[in-house]
Chains A and B, each alone.
Chain A
Amino acid sequence: MKENIFPAIRITLVCLLFFSGLYSLINLGAAQLASNNGKGDTIIQNGKTYFTNVGQQFTDDRYFYSRPSAVAYNAAGAGGSNKGPSNAGYLKTIRDRLDTFMVHNPGVNKSDIPSDLITASGSGLDPHISVQAANVQVKRIAKIRGIAKENIQQLILSHTEMPLLGLFGTERINVLKLNIALDKLN
């Protein structure tokens, strides 16, 4: 024991300096060359700063809704609902969300509503929705804003992020970017 304890303490301190210290500093130095100095990617719009990758709550009918969130898009305490698939209380919440959506979007077919619009994401901060989730909201937004549907559909098309190299992953839309562009249309 004795012959091990001092090397153990000393080598731990060396590791502390190297792995917690130097390794972090190298990364911190490199981050000064990255976008926004490694403080998180941002969009600056009308003098206001938004984080590109951190989703925002959109419940106003004038905007494309973002996904439901278990933490109301609180980015200082992110999290998911952690509800199991068979939980009766959870399934009631889903049904309520569906009904609310139908009330705010009259004339929409239930079978056109994709599940990402009524389920909460893992982080509660999902910045994206699926393309179908955007399309199903066009009618509502066109009516409230008095814009032609075609213009909004065009906007969705130009904001669709394709899979990596067209081959890998999902199609998706950053809701914040889409809504900023939507505000510019008026």
Chain B
Amino acid sequence: MKIGIPRSLLYYYYYPFWQTLFAELGNEVVVSDPTSGDQLNEGVKESVSEICVPMKVHIGQVLNLLEKGVDLIYIPRFVSIRRGITFCPKFLGLPDMIKNSIAAVRGKILTHEIRAKTDDISAYKNYTIFRDIFRVSKGELKKALEAARQNWLKFRALQQEGYKTEKLLLGEKEKREEGLLKIGVLGYVYNLYDRFINMDFLDRLEELGAKIVTFEMLDGDIVDRFIKNLRKPMFWEFTNRLMAAGYHFINSADIDGIIHITAFGCGPDSILGPFLEIDAGQKNKPFMTLRIDEQTGESHLITRIEAFLDLLKLKKRSDIA
């Protein structure tokens, strides 16, 4: 069978897992084309106007896969990958939304709930429906899941060693650039690594001489320990991770500044933002929020990054002097 995987949302975190899993089960894996203006416009047409841009991108990707003539489109329902913490409501209702707003996709969605204790999502119990769909035995499915897990763990280890996520997903290996300034970049994977919607934001930062640190490059323990110690963690998995990374950056002397990149209308970030902004201010750590949506202008983004980095350079020089 031809299984389509949209190049959006958690593709940027779990693609190595999915790719191995479906290939091991004897399927051809088709990934949608990288986000483009036309594709996004198609997505916008089929979306509710107020929804965040990553969801519009996702819908565009699903439409793109339909054009490619795949048999099934994989849209799992991520419920929880940590005890007591769920995903953003849009993830929880994702298959429902797609199924009920795009008529052509009905009957072509492969979906199931993912509930796990950690971000290792390979537990067999989540995948039992695969046995009937792909006509495999329990043993074969378990073996495929294990292979997928190994591949994904390798990917995670490389991320933590500082290899570029966007290159790893394409099967290439390239280290993050070194730079004069060390910038903590906070953002969800689907905003950080979709070059179209963030207008090559990461490359531009590097060109301007920044060394980038993101949440998935941090040691998993830092994040887990932080979330465990929160009196009341946020309800959303990746928001908590950003919060953990954010406070880690605020308290790290070697981080020169923090950029929070967020989508227009992102609900969880509207709650997270003020916490980080207030506390970064109190600790005297430069903090900037960049907001992106389908109408963001490129020059506006560049101007703001440049200005921010210039200020950081000035600050660094005056700190040394």
Q: Please say whether chains A and B are actual partners in one complex.
A: no
Residues of B within 8 A of A (CB): none
